[in-house]
Amino acid sequence: MNKTILQHTFSNGLRLIYLPWNTTVAHAGVFVAAGSRNETEKEQGLAHFIEHTIFKGTSRRSSAEILKRLESVGGELNAYTEREETAIYASFLPQYSFRALDLLSDVIFNAVFPEKELEKEKEVVIDEIDSYLDTPSEQIFDDFEEYIFPNQPFGKNILGTPEKVRSFTQQQILHFTQNLYQPERIVVSYVGKVPFRTILNYVERLFDRPNLIKEHKIQPALHSKKFDLTIQKPIHQAHCILGGIAPCIASNDRFTMSLLNNYLGGPAMSSLLNMVLREKNGFTYNNESHYSAYSDTGIFQIYLGTEKRNLKKCLRLIAKELDKLCKKPLSTTFLHKIQKQYCGQIAIASDSGLNQMISIGKSLLHTGTVIEMEEMFVKIENISSSHIMDVANQYLHFDKLSILSYISE
């Protein structure tokens, strides 16, 4: 089957993206441009709380009926919340595609958020927050991002705080969803072997809703000045993040930054940081780098956990490697090597229908387009050593990076 991505925009602005996938499992998701960034100060954590409670009942189904609707035929239902989107998605046998899409449209448009269920779920979410606070390797990411983007929704913890979660009301939730869960802010993504025309007809029938709100403005992301902070905690291992702003999702530098991120601290055991910090010196058990691109900014972070006495040594080693990237061009042979590695990892990730469904849905929602894998390979292969140096100097120069460390008391 030809894996050509197909798209359609309906009269109400809702968009469908479809990828034929000739396997025994299909995947569908609804991606809404409504995340933690859309919250007010009083609403911090609300988008994530809605993700939890959207399954608790609709005007058509009870909570139990929602959960059983796909599980009774072997399907799975899931969701996640990020800064700029909330996604509800499902995996199922292709013959149940209408059932899955019907359920997704029902929870997106008809959720009623029963007050009794809200009170129960508050305790679940607060327990999730507490688990993060008990895990310094998780909490440090949230704290770092709040220091980078202070006093604004973009930098706030997506989960919220126990106090905010306890204060949420049914009225708040309905106001948020009725304002933002509108067709023109939604992408439906489908990966499976049911013909495109059939899926298009299903979506047209099930997601036929008028837009009630035409505009919703978000606050621009404003980053702080460089900082170097150390916080004492009752922990044994030192945790550290260094990083800063990075290219936004529309920037041409995004592909070069993604390549650099993969080279520095991607999933491969042969990543630069893993080789320098762990394999050569034995300083860390876990080290990694992350790059996230958003509509008007991005974040790059290097994380490591080490013994307190080795923290400064690790930072010196990282500074040395970043300095090389800024000052010395990669050889043609070495550049080709890291390009091939990154393309291979993209191909492996793309072998999952679920990953593909999420990837194309997110891409269409935030950029209005989707780059197919072959085009992505071309973009990566066309990255030059000089452009790598330019991007490294702009975003990875050690003197420009902020640092947050947790150390033992």
Question: How is the chain split into domains, by residue range?
Answer: 6-206, 228-408
The parts of the chain modelled with pLDDT lower than 70 are 1-2, 214-215
CATH 3.30.830.10 corresponds to the domain 6-206: yes
pLDDT (0 to 100) of residue 62: 96
Rounded to two decimals, the pTM is: 0.94
Checking phi first, is residue 113 left (phi over 0); if not, alpha (psi -120 to 50) or beta? left
- Strands across the sheet with 238-246, in order? 228-233, 402-408, 238-246, 298-306, 284-293
pLDDT (0 to 100) of residue 2: 45
Domain 228-408 superfamily per CATH: Metalloenzyme, LuxS/M16 peptidase-like (3.30.830.10)
> Hey, what are 95's tokens?
């013959």
Domains 6-206 and 228-408 share a fold: yes
Which residue, 253, 339, 264, 248, is CA-closest to 301? Answer: 264
pLDDT (0 to 100) of residue 143: 96
The angle formed by the CA atoms of residues 7, 10 and 13, to the nearest 5 degrees, is: 105
Kind of pairing between the strands at 186-192 and 76-81: unpaired
Which residue, 152, 133, 212, 136, is CA-closest to 180? Answer: 212
Question: Tens of pLDDT along 90-129?
Answer: 999 999 999 999 999 999 999 999 999 999 999 999 999 9
pLDDT (0 to 100) of residue 214: 65
CB 173 within 8 A of CB 56: no
> Hey, what are 37's tokens?
């960034």
